[in-house]
Structure 1
Amino acid sequence: MKAVFFDVDGTLIDCVEKKIPASSIKAIEELRKNGYKVALATGRDINSIRGIKDLDISVFDAYVLNNGAAIYDNTLRCIKDFPFLREDVEKILEYCNNKNMSLIFDTVEGPYLATEITDCLVEGKKYYKEEIPPYIEWKGEEIVKINIFAPMGYDFSELEKYISARIVPCPTVCYDVMAKGISKQTGIRELMKYYGFNENDYMAFGDQENDLEMLENAKIGIAVKDIDGSEKLQHMADYVCDAPRKDGIYTFLKNNGYI
């Protein structure tokens, strides 16, 4: 096994304490000392990971961001991206404007607000402890990630009929829009190729449904069990570890001889 990938929210960042426990940081450092490449695989964008409190991003060898749509090396240089189809961006923007839903678009340089501010946007950003990015009118530039802010449990099946993308719920009033065929696994595959490794020769930790593909394709896939964790993910994972605040990641790696 050559590499270890970590989701961020609910995996490295505990969903109750809203911080990364010292045990997880120690686990990352020990993995690197033992020769493993260690990378993030998250729905977050480049600016968001820079702003994570208590996380020294220099400890990572690479970054699979925007749910696999943008891959960066250890200098945060984008080495590959997978933008949305322009017509899909247009349809999503029109739908959300008509439904009074907030949208955040991401380019490889970072995010911006593409619609008006709504209560759901304020609630979602409060959950992630992030600032609302500035409003910029979309003028056709390539978009690598889209977040919709809408009530929990909202049914997007009508919109999904008309776009080449799927919409995945996050733990709060935020939804990840993922282009069909693009997932964290897509980015991991590109990164493993970049390093000259076999594409499945990795371990992955995650907690939500946007982690399904990367755990399915991993040599070892570990679901992090917590109050917001996906039961579907836990059922398909090779192993389930305890919550970050209970030192779940460190304990799993230690008990299985990786650190």
Structure 2
Amino acid sequence: MKQKLIAIDLDGTTLNSQSEITPRTKEVLHAASQAGHIVSIVTGRPYRISQQFYDDLGIKTPMINFNGALGHIPHENWNKEYADTFSRDIVFELLEKRNELGIKMSAAEGKTLVLSDTVNNNVNEFFPVITQPEQLLTAKNLRQDPSAMTMWIEPENKQNVIQKLQKEFGDYINVGIWGGPYSILELSPKGINKARGVKFLADNYNIAREDIIAFGDEHNDTEMLDYVGWGVSMQNGTTELKNLANDITPLTNDQDGLADYLSNYLNLAK
């Protein structure tokens, strides 16, 4: 089979509900790599909470973080690495309006930038735990433009905050909504999405668009699945994504759905 670029989302796709990569999924992704295909992680997660999965898979390909805003090879100084950002002044303004907007917690991040405005006791790994004063998200500590800002919002304020953000900063940022139990908004540079990261990967490897296959489950995978030659929604994916996708995995992420589908699609030996 012709060489494929395989772009894999993490949460709800490569990872099961326990945020683990199962032995079966690891086996199939290794087999795909051994067959000459390129496997790359394309995730909304920050680098700090995706590196362990990259290492667990043992791949050496570039990884895309922050929904396309960061492209890099972990553990290497890669001359093609990129980082898209937005002005830190937006962060400063939102910090000043924290109480007015009902923001319970916020963080600003980049590849090595990790700042949070409060100690994290509630939202597990998705907000950074701070232990030192220099890790606080303040105007003094934020010395560079971030690739992402995440905000935990009071649920009743969410739509109002989205409207205000889009009205005031819509020319400079995207406003994303996380799935799951928490009311979390994510700001990213305007026009950046996972399709940007996938195109970067494809250009790097000289892979034609029609030879890219991508797997996802949530709204932030929409542009990626729409862009690639063959976009696959997980069985546990959103209705919107299933309607957009070229195909849907018969099994969920808790049933090794990615591994099952990819093994059949690539005709990998069982």
In the TM superposition, 1:91-240 aligns within 5 A as: 91-96=93-98, 98=100, 99-113=102-116, 115-117=117-119, 122-125=121-124, 132-133=129-130, 134-137=135-138, 138-152=141-155, 154-155=158-159, 156-163=162-169, 164-170=172-178, 171-173=180-182, 174-199=184-209, 201-226=211-236, 229-240=237-248
Task: Return 5+ residue gaps in structure 2 as ranges.
Answer: none
**CA separation in 2, counterparts of 1:24 and 1:56?**
11
* TM-score normalised by structure 2 residue count: 0.82
Task: Return 5+ residue gaps in structure 1 as ranges.
Answer: none
Aligned to 1:31: 32
- 1:191-232 deviations in whole A, cap 9, x for unaligned? 222223335531111111111111100111111122xx3221
**CA separation in 2, counterparts of 1:86 and 1:136?**
11
**Which one has a bigger Cα radius of gyration?**
2
Conserved? CA contact 1:152–1:172, under 8 Å: no
Aligned to 2:91: 89
**CA separation in 2, counterparts of 1:216 and 1:20?**
25
- 1:95-149 deviations in whole A, cap 9, x for unaligned? 3354343111112214221x234xxx643226x5x75244243434121111111
Percentage of matched positions with identical amino acids: 19
Question: Which amino acid in the other structure matches residue 35 of structure 1?
Answer: G
Conserved? CA contact 1:67–1:145, under 8 Å: no
**CA separation in 1, counterparts of 2:71 and 2:19?**
25
* Matched residue count: 249
Give the secondary structure class of the aligned counterpart of 2:240.
Answer: helix
**CA separation in 1, counterparts of 2:121 and 2:110?**
21
Question: Which amino acid in the other structure matches residue 247 of structure 1?
Answer: D
Question: Which stretches of structure 1, 4 residues or longer, exceed 4 Å deviation after superposition?
Answer: none
* TM-score normalised by structure 1 residue count: 0.85
